[in-house]
Homo-oligomer: A and B are copies of this chain.
Amino acid sequence: MTDLKEGVCLKGFWLNHEHCCWKAETPFENRDTCSDWRIWSQLIIGTTEGAFAYILNYFMYVIWALLFSLLAVSLVKGFAPYACGSGIPEIKTILSGFIIRGYLGKWTLIIKTITLVLAVSSGLSLGKEGPLVHVACCCGNILCHLFIKYRKNEAKRREVLSAAAAAGVSVAFGAPIGGVLFSLEEVSYYFPLKTLWRSFFAALVAAFTLRSINPFGNSRLVLFYVEFHTPWHLLELVPFILLGIFGGLWGAFFIRSNIAWCRRRKTTKLGRYPVLEVLVVTAVTAILAFPNEYTRMSTSELISELFNDCGILDYSKLCEYVSDFNSTKGDDLPDRAAGPGVYTAMWQLALALILKVFITIFTFGMKVPSGLFIPSMAVGAIVGRLLGVGMEQLAYYHHDWTIFSGWCSQGADCITPGLYAMVGAAACLGGVTRMTVSLVVIMFELTGGLEYIVPLMAAAMTSKWVADAIGREGIYDAHIRLNGYPFLEAKEEFSHKTLAMDVMRPRRNDPPLTVITQDSMTVEDVEVIINETTYSGYPVVVSRESQRLVGFVLRRDLIISIENARKKQDGIVSTSIIYFTDHSPPLPPSSPSMLKLRSILDLSPFTVTDQTPMEIVVDIFRKLGLRQCLVTHNGKLLGIITKKDVLKHIAQMANQDPDSILFN
């Protein structure tokens, strides 16, 4: 569909340019111009020459782009509003224990699958990786409904989702190990070893299925297979670290700008016209992209070309070097002087860079499925390739400089610009997402470049440091905060000296905590409490005087039980006494019959003492995934701390507005 924007294949409109010309008997150099593939102007007015043909092609390109994106945004808006975006912030939130109904449902699955294809082919600056993780999680969630064990158990279902996320990345990149690590590092909240092992299995099956389908026709799983012939030199770490710094700066810049724009969309009128917004961005992208061949091609093709090391058989502009065939031995080309093609390519790449940098800010967060991996990698790969070619030419013309002496003599192949592109891509992706181990693993699973772990690691680290120095949050965490999801960040340490008593409710001057006694309250008393408060649960104590904690009862269970009892059980009236005790005393015959509710009482509520440091309380909330925790002093119930209280307290301590936790 991406190629439909440029032309059509006469053998079948569903064939792309490459597959259309696959078996044509044209010589290798002219493989791009086979007779079956017709550019639009060729098909309509019979020529590809002249200004009119160019304008016609331009027009068709923009029209197709608009058509695809209009279809995509309409489907999303009409059928599944949750299908937009990358989905990773929401999946992180869901895995941390929050429930968003319908977010992983079948409509989201169907619509996201279709619109993802449309969005990618419309030529917008977005990728398919994040949305594929969301799609995989939808599949996992739907499959869970088939098994009672998983349908009934939230925790087990979250483990399935962790494994699904791994499988999603495994398929998106052909990177099974990277997928498992991505799920561990970026997506999952709580990742026990048995989940690691199950995710590994899911990723294996996913990779195996992909291998059986053989989508790239070359028995390889990897998307951008590269084979470099030259080892890197220690001194090259300097440019690699420079790329890391750029990646960090770009990541921080992108996150700030994107969040600012998304906040604007949330708070101003802009948010009311999602279709118009998508169409405008698509039009701008298409109009600016068409004249430059590096933006006109799909972003994956661009990355693939940038990663590629120029061989003898490469005829792309990026490989137009002044060849000196005397010094060529076998496949190993020495560093050569750049030809005019390379210089043109440099300019075009620089322009492409500017376009990608700015348009991605406006694209990510629109009402279409949109991933960030591919655009980030493209930005990094362009910068890396530019730097790589620069280094190469420097080494070629100035191989007598001291820094090159000893490892880069004349006629040697010392600099591989493709490697710089790879390192740059890793750096930018790291700056945006703040991944470390998973990033490096994905990068080398993606390219097969196992020799280059150290450069990739160095760039990923630098990029994370630089970006963290500017702003602590990765793009997904930033979007979680923007949307006000109740997500308790597990990465940062809470190191303030506050105590549980400073955070619990009721505060010092508030009325005392609303409690229910175990054997002295009537149905009416409890109903008054339910109506007057909005808490989701109430502690049950021995008596108001002793305040000794017995258990915790959920509002929902209380309402349902009382309702049922009033309907079905004889003699339950407003003055009936509710018993939460194991044994109830014999009642005088005149009194109304009693309501026994021990079965709905949670007898093991979580407690901490009022003197517990908040550092430990935060740790307990994170590790045990609690929603609330009761606070006691010398065995007496004093108050309650909810997840919301913890989140607000953390925000307050970090000098942020505690009310930014919106829970909307």
CA distance A139 to B193 in the complex (A): 27
Do residues A448 and B451 form an inter-chain contact, with CB atoms below 8 A?
yes
- Once A196-B437, A200-B437 are accepted as A-B contacts, the answer to whether A604 and B632 lie under 8 Å apart by CB is no
* A645 on interface, CB distance cutoff 8 Å: no
Within 8 A of B (CB), among A491-546: 491, 493, 500, 542, 546
Do residues B457 and A450 form an inter-chain contact, with CB atoms below 8 A?
no
* One of B208, B220, B436, B613 near A604 (C-beta < 8 A): B613
* A414 on interface, CB distance cutoff 8 Å: no
* A624 on interface, CB distance cutoff 8 Å: yes
| CB-defined A-B contacts under 8 Å, sample of 16 | A176-B453, A181-B181, A184-B196, A185-B196, A193-B490, A194-B491, A200-B457, A207-B457, A211-B454, A441-B441, A542-B634, A548-B634, A548-B635, A549-B634, A605-B609, A623-B624
* A221 on interface, CB distance cutoff 8 Å: yes
Within 8 A of B (CB), among A404-452: 436-437, 440-441, 444-445, 448, 450-451
Contacts of A79 in B (CB 8 A): none
- Once A194-B493, A204-B458, A635-B546 are accepted as A-B contacts, the answer to whether A453 and B177 lie under 8 Å apart by CB is yes
Do residues B634 and A207 form an inter-chain contact, with CB atoms below 8 A?
no
Count A interface residues, CB 8 Å.
69
* One of B185, B193, B636 near A185 (C-beta < 8 A): B193
* A212 on interface, CB distance cutoff 8 Å: yes
Within 8 A of B (CB), among A216-230: 219-222
CA distance A619 to B194 in the complex (A): 14
Contacts of A197 in B (CB 8 A): 436-437, 464
* A383 on interface, CB distance cutoff 8 Å: no
* One of B207, B453, B609 near A603 (C-beta < 8 A): B609
CA distance A437 to B634 in the complex (A): 48
Residues of chain A touching chain B, judged by Cβ–Cβ distance below 8 Å, are 176-177, 180-181, 184-185, 192-194, 196-197, 200-201, 204, 207-208, 211-212, 219-222, 231, 234, 436-437, 440-441, 444-445, 448, 450-451, 453-454, 457-458, 461, 464, 490-491, 493, 500, 542, 546-551, 603-605, 607-609, 611-613, 616, 619-620, 623-624, 632, 634-637
CB-based nearest B residue for A540:
B634
CA distance A638 to B129 in the complex (A): 54
Do residues B624 and A620 form an inter-chain contact, with CB atoms below 8 A?
yes
CA distance A458 to B616 in the complex (A): 42
- Once A605-B609, A636-B635 are accepted as A-B contacts, the answer to whether A204 and B457 lie under 8 Å apart by CB is yes
Minimum CB–CB distance for A80 against chain B, Å: 32
Do residues B193 and A491 form an inter-chain contact, with CB atoms below 8 A?
yes
Contacts of A207 in B (CB 8 A): 453-454, 457
CA distance A490 to B613 in the complex (A): 26
Interface centre among A436, A444, A620 (most CB of B within 10 A): A436
CA distance A234 to B219 in the complex (A): 10
CB-based nearest B residue for A493:
B194
CB-based nearest B residue for A197:
B436
CA distance A429 to B193 in the complex (A): 18
Interface centre among A437, A548, A607 (most CB of B within 10 A): A437
CA distance A207 to B456 in the complex (A): 12
CB-based nearest B residue for A177:
B441
Extra 9 A-B pairs, beta carbons < 8 Å, given A197-B436, A619-B624, A623-B624: A177-B453, A185-B193, A208-B454, A222-B450, A448-B451, A603-B609, A605-B609, A635-B635, A635-B637
Minimum CB–CB distance for A558 against chain B, Å: 19
CA distance A127 to B590 in the complex (A): 84
Contacts of A612 in B (CB 8 A): 603-604
CA distance A605 to B612 in the complex (A): 8
CA distance A506 to B83 in the complex (A): 56
Contacts of A208 in B (CB 8 A): 454, 458
Do residues A635 and B542 form an inter-chain contact, with CB atoms below 8 A?
yes
Contacts of A221 in B (CB 8 A): 453-454
Minimum CB–CB distance for A205 against chain B, Å: 10
Do residues A231 and B204 form an inter-chain contact, with CB atoms below 8 A?
no
CB-based nearest B residue for A444:
B450
CB-based nearest B residue for A437:
B200
CB-based nearest B residue for A192:
B490
Contacts of A619 in B (CB 8 A): 624
CB-based nearest B residue for A491:
B193
Do residues B437 and A177 form an inter-chain contact, with CB atoms below 8 A?
yes
CA distance A427 to B511 in the complex (A): 65
Contacts of A219 in B (CB 8 A): 231
Contacts of A604 in B (CB 8 A): 500, 608-609, 611-613, 616
Minimum CB–CB distance for A130 against chain B, Å: 20
Contacts of A632 in B (CB 8 A): 607, 635
- Once A192-B490, A609-B603 are accepted as A-B contacts, the answer to whether A635 and B549 lie under 8 Å apart by CB is yes
Contacts of A181 in B (CB 8 A): 181, 437
CA distance A610 to B453 in the complex (A): 52
- Once A193-B490, A603-B611 are accepted as A-B contacts, the answer to whether A201 and B461 lie under 8 Å apart by CB is yes
What are the 3 tightest A-B residue pairs by CB atom distance, in nearest-first order? A548-B635, A604-B612, A603-B611
Contacts of A454 in B (CB 8 A): 176, 204, 207-208, 211, 221
* One of B196, B222, B457, B607 near A176 (C-beta < 8 A): B457
Contacts of A608 in B (CB 8 A): 604
Contacts of A177 in B (CB 8 A): 437, 440-441, 453
Minimum CB–CB distance for A616 against chain B, Å: 7
Do residues B635 and A437 form an inter-chain contact, with CB atoms below 8 A?
no
CB-based nearest B residue for A447:
B450
CA distance A635 to B547 in the complex (A): 8
* One of B185, B194, B445 near A450 (C-beta < 8 A): B445
CB-based nearest B residue for A166:
B437
CA distance A181 to B635 in the complex (A): 44
Minimum CB–CB distance for A194 against chain B, Å: 6
Minimum CB–CB distance for A582 against chain B, Å: 10
